[in-house]
Amino acid sequence: MPLLTKQSPKNWKCGIRKDILHIPCQGKSRSLSCFGRVGCEGRGSTENLELRFITTADSADLPISLEYFRELHPKIDLDVEMVSSANIFARYQALLAVNDLPDVMWAQSGTFLSMARAGIYADLSQALNGMNYEGDMVWRNTFVPELLAASRALLNPLGPEVYSRDWGVPTQMTSIAILYDKAFFDANGLREPTNWNEFVDLNNRLVAMGRVPMSTNFANIDWFPRLFWDQRLRPELTANPFAFEEGDLTFTHPQVIQGLEDFKNLYDAGWFPSNFLTATPEQLIQAFLQGGIVQLFTVPGLMRFIYDVAPPEWSLASYVFPSITGLPPRSLGGPGGIQTISGSSDNFDTGLILLKFLTSRTYFSQHHTRLLNSGLVNVPFDPDYTQVLSGFLQAAANGFIPDIYVPINASPELIDSWRSDLFPNWLQGRHTTMHVATQLQRLYEETYLVLMD
């Protein structure tokens, strides 16, 4: 799948870099973006209350919240298209090809970078200095500062003129943890592991009991090696966070290879269900709720459904994925997604209403969002959910692994090949570890490092 690129017409005069789509600041062209200049955002009036929104279909709660938005803003005609996160980049490509982008768009990190390179986002920097949805705080100040910084850092390859501004806002703070039934643990003399040896012992005991120790959604299969890479390469990457971009480290580095092997060892030990490579998220959750899988490696976004339908005798709890080297265990995550406004939109101000709602105290005060980590400083935490959320909160408190650290999700092409070919065929013995590492490096160079040229 090629990266999004377009040649800029000669009469466009507001470009900022030769490798980024130039900006139509003059003339009648409104089909592409005003990427790169404050005051060139494609503002419209709130008198035009039509709004087109494309977002992820992976959230079961979002449709409920959007109906609430419609109740609060009956004059806004909100047209929503929900697309699987695995397919959303291809959907944007198709729409960009016919100059038919929506007003508001959701993106993950790799998609956010590729779309930003095409120059299709409006600059939200000035808007963030305005008031929030409730009108009682500066919008920018409502976010956990590290969360906004992480969103900007996703665009580091495009240079300081780009990443010094805000092209999107993060929605939720995502961390990952292991969810389990504490009542089952207590009844079987098991306890939360506090280090790697205890974690290995726990899961081997579960295997010996005839249980499937754990699983996660197949779409998240990059979690395990990325956690191991952070542990095994943290000294090198702390000293130089851009070691991969600068070529000092590669996917064929011995410690990167070891991180892959770390996960392969867990898989070969029988810790995962037999249908791990093919099961849907719904099937895995159902297996967990029926006790077929003892632990679920997950994100807070799935918690409401699990919490509401878990057997009444259960006592849900969570813990941080332990460190394999003894270093403090950091979490994957940070921004749960990035919400943006198209630079070609004639409905900028109406789009801001939606973005502010999605990042507001009002949004996170709904019953079905109570188990989400808002990433906002003005949303109080409900102490009734301390036990079930403790692992997720502790994982976030330990800090996040930057996406620039062994960036396996650096581009949509890389992560697609990883999920659809390299990873499943490697686990089943069709690829060697070195073949996987070599292919990851090739894709990294061809689909990500080209942005640095």
pLDDT tens for residues 251-264?
A: 999 999 999 999 99
Confidence class for position 47, pLDDT limits 50, 70, 90: low
Q: Is the pLDDT of residue 434 over 50?
A: yes
Q: Domain spanning 50-173+334-379 has what CATH number? A: 3.40.190.10
Q: Per mean pLDDT, which range of 56-65, 70-79, 345-354, 399-408 is the poorest? A: 399-408
AA identity, residue 188: N
CB 208 within 8 A of CB 294: no
User: In this structure, what token pair is assigned to residue 154?
Assistant: 């996703």
pLDDT at 8: 28
Q: Who wins on pLDDT, 315 or 375?
A: 315
User: In this structure, what token pair is assigned to residue 17?
Assistant: 């870099």
Q: What is the DSSP string of 210-227?
A: T-EEEE--GGGTTHHHHH
Mean pLDDT, residues 324-329: 93
d(CA 115, CA 3): 9
| The most confident of 62-66, 162-166, 298-302, by mean pLDDT | 62-66
CB 320 within 8 A of CB 331: yes
CB 333 within 8 A of CB 321: no
User: In this structure, what token pair is assigned to residue 326?
Assistant: 């003894």
| C-alpha 115: how far from chain center | 15
The whole-chain average pLDDT of the chain stands at 83
For the chain, the distance separating the N- and C-terminal CA atoms, rounded to the nearest angstrom, is: 19
pLDDT at 368: 82
Confidence class for position 366, pLDDT limits 50, 70, 90: confident
What are the residue ranges of CATH 3.40.190.10 in the chain? 50-173+334-379, 177-330+400-452
% of residues, the chain, pLDDT over 70: 88
Q: Is the pLDDT of residue 452 over 90?
A: no
pLDDT at 39: 32
Mean pLDDT, residues 75-91: 90
Q: Per mean pLDDT, which range of 3-12, 194-203, 417-426 is the poorest? A: 3-12
Domain 177-330+400-452 has CATH 1.20.1730.10: no
User: How many helical (H) and strand (E) elements, i.e. helices and strands, does the chain have?
Assistant: 18, 11
